[in-house]
Structure 1
């Protein structure tokens, strides 16, 4: 088989998810760190990240070749081949696959804990009424502490991109923008699948999940106390 040119690697919906996810997570960290009047925006960004996570979960089943979960999980078993220089697969290498899974799992925890967190002063997640005040406060503490681990993962991700770009001469950022990369082995083929109807379905389900959380939060919110009528004579 002749090796030449480039291959289609990342589909458009996955690329759009990647950049929206990166921007939303960073913005959520910044607004949460500053706090105060930005906490409502922190909550809104958390809901956006929730919708993106639901989209990514679904896209891992209906997206194109290299976006699918079986491909990513299979890559985690190739550590030995990768370290021995025998890795020939396109898409995420084993270390990249572990990084993706760790990032998605940690951000999922942050979203879940944020939805039910409360500090009884500056912020209450939309689903905080589902848990006791003590549990909500504990989740709020875990949510704040886990951000440090998230920052470590983000730093490692950026460092890996710089290393692969400058040392390994593999333009990962360009591939995530253009969707194509250099073919490095004859066995590497174009990504297939990931139709427009599948993308619309995944987006709709992500939006529906966000709407559902907001609806449940509104339903759980206690009615404002009635104001006693004035007795002015």
Structure 2
């Protein structure tokens, strides 16, 4: 008999799906162009707030959300690749690396967008504070970096599909419900998704959002 065990706290799940929405809408708005570029910028600001929140949550959040508990060392990565250990309840070693890669490229995209200038419809709020050469460089990085995002998102979707079709493991449901079904006792008895943790996450996100608002406005 399987028992649901809470793995992903509500803040981590909300971060995941809200960031996914920001990425999709950001792509849609940039393809539309024109006045929609302002909405593309809003998606970028939201993504930046989310990424900064996730970085902080990676240090103070619940057990499976903390970087120290899922980023693999070389030895752990190699044993996983050899099939000598399973992936555990949270992110497996490869999944952990993909998370770090995605967080990194999206952070780069959001930060460079603050300085980007397309010379037609949009100028980032910080573009006026740096030289034209710097603006040109950061705009180029912003445009080129999108392909890394596309590639990593594609790999992410491919990995989810592989686990679902080949390994018969649904990775989407736990990121919606927060729970994984186990047939044995969980290896750890830790506090996950408590009211205190949720309030802490809300406070952190609100502080980040307010800080960015006053910085950008």
- Assess same fold via TM > 0.5: yes
- CA apart distance, 1:86: 2.7
The reply to whether residue 202 of structure 1 matches residue 204 of structure 2 is: yes
Q: Distance in 1 between matches of 2:101 and 2:84?
A: 24
* Residue in structure 2 matched with residue 98 of structure 1 by the alignment: 97
* Residue in structure 2 matched with residue 51 of structure 1 by the alignment: 49
Q: Distance in 2 between matches of 1:82 and 1:185?
A: 21
Asked if the contact 1:9/1:91 (under 8 Å) is kept, the reply is: yes
Asked if the contact 1:75/1:97 (under 8 Å) is kept, the reply is: no
In terms of mean alpha carbon deviation, does 190-199 or 110-119 score higher? 190-199
**Residues 180 and 198 of structure 1: CA distance in aligned 2, closer, same or farther (over 3 Å):** same
3-state SS in 1 of match to 2:71: helix
- CA apart distance, 1:129: 1.7
* Residue in structure 1 matched with residue 134 of structure 2 by the alignment: 135
- CA apart distance, 1:12: 0.8
Deviations 1:174-216 (A, max 9, x none): 010011112376563355245133112221222123213323x
Asked if the contact 1:7/1:190 (under 8 Å) is kept, the reply is: no
3-state SS in 2 of match to 1:117: coil
Greater radius of gyration (CA): 1
- CA apart distance, 1:8: 1.0
Q: Distance in 1 between matches of 2:176 and 2:103?
A: 20
Moved beyond 4 Å, runs of 4+: 184-187
* Residue in structure 1 matched with residue 9 of structure 2 by the alignment: 11
- CA apart distance, 1:57: 1.3
| TM-score, length-scaled by structure 2 | 0.90
The reply to whether residue 126 of structure 1 matches residue 128 of structure 2 is: no
**Residues 205 and 86 of structure 1: CA distance in aligned 2, closer, same or farther (over 3 Å):** farther
Consecutive unaligned residues in structure 1, runs of 5 or more: 216-233
